[in-house]
A and B are shown apart, each in its own frame.
Chain A
Amino acid sequence: MIFYRIILGMIGVFAIADIVRMFLGPTIFDRLLCFNILSAKIVMAITLYALMTEQSSMLDVAIVYSLLAFVSTVLIARFIRNKGELS
């Protein structure tokens, strides 16, 4: 139990550092990259929480979150690449 708490605390510190980098980032691509990493960290944290409390239903949340993060990252990248047209 104490092992999972330590790992979850480290992931939380990384997520806060990632949000700081998202505010500091000079271009829009740095902000998009930080969003991608932040979603990966959230999936890791949900999985560790499900392992810690042994709730099997939290893993469904993690599956849906990873798919939505992938779709939104690709959508924003294509939106920037086409200069504002969703085609």
Chain B
Amino acid sequence: MTIAGKILIAAGVVFALLGMVGLFRFRTFYARILITSNIDSAGMILMMIGGMLHSPTPAFALKIGIIAVLALITGPLSTHAILRSARISGYKLKLGEHI
């Protein structure tokens, strides 16, 4: 059980690493917001499930589960709010700009 938890926590950190590499690698804003939504949805969910397998008491696991459900609801909503704000405010790509 603890080895499975460690593997899941390490997988969450790998997702965070991919998001940070994409944040510095991509040149346009829309590509950056696409890759960095990995961190607060996929990486955070994997890390919370790994923490639930590691937790010493059941109440501890229940609290981590509440954080996981909150991250599952609020992560895509905040990414969507930023993207909608940029789109309505008139952020457009320049003509020769690409990934």
For the complex formed, measure the closest distance between the CB of A14 and the CB atoms of chain B, giving whole angstroms: 5
Assess the B60–A70 pair: CB atoms within 8 A: no
Docked complex: B51-99 residues within 8 A CB-CB of A:
51, 54-57, 59-60, 63-64, 66-67, 70-71, 74-75, 77-79, 81-82, 84-86, 88-89, 91
Are B36 and A37 in touch, CB under 8 angstroms? yes
Q: A20-75: which residues lie under 8 A (CB-CB) from chain B?
A: 21, 27, 29-30, 32-34, 36-37, 40-41, 43-44, 47-48, 51, 54, 56, 59-60, 62-63, 66-67, 69-70, 73-74
- Total count of chain B residues near the partner, CB < 8 A: 47
CB distance from A17 to the nearest CB of B (A): 6
Interface string of B5-17 (1 = CB under 8 A from A): 0100110110011
Q: Count of A residues near B, CB < 8 Å? A: 40
Query: In the assembly, what is the distance between CA of A44 and CA of B13, in Å?
Result: 10
| Cα distance, A17 to B23, chains bound together (Å) | 10
The answer on a CB contact under 8 Å between B47 and A21 is no
B13 touches A10 (CB 8 A): yes
Give Cα A44 to B55, complex, Å.
15
B interface residue numbers (CB < 8 A to A): 6, 9-10, 12-13, 16-17, 19-20, 23-24, 29, 32-33, 36, 39-40, 43-44, 47-48, 51, 54-57, 59-60, 63-64, 66-67, 70-71, 74-75, 77-79, 81-82, 84-86, 88-89, 91
Give residues in A with beta carbon < 8 Å to B: 3, 7, 10-11, 14, 17-18, 21, 27, 29-30, 32-34, 36-37, 40-41, 43-44, 47-48, 51, 54, 56, 59-60, 62-63, 66-67, 69-70, 73-74, 77-78, 80-81, 83
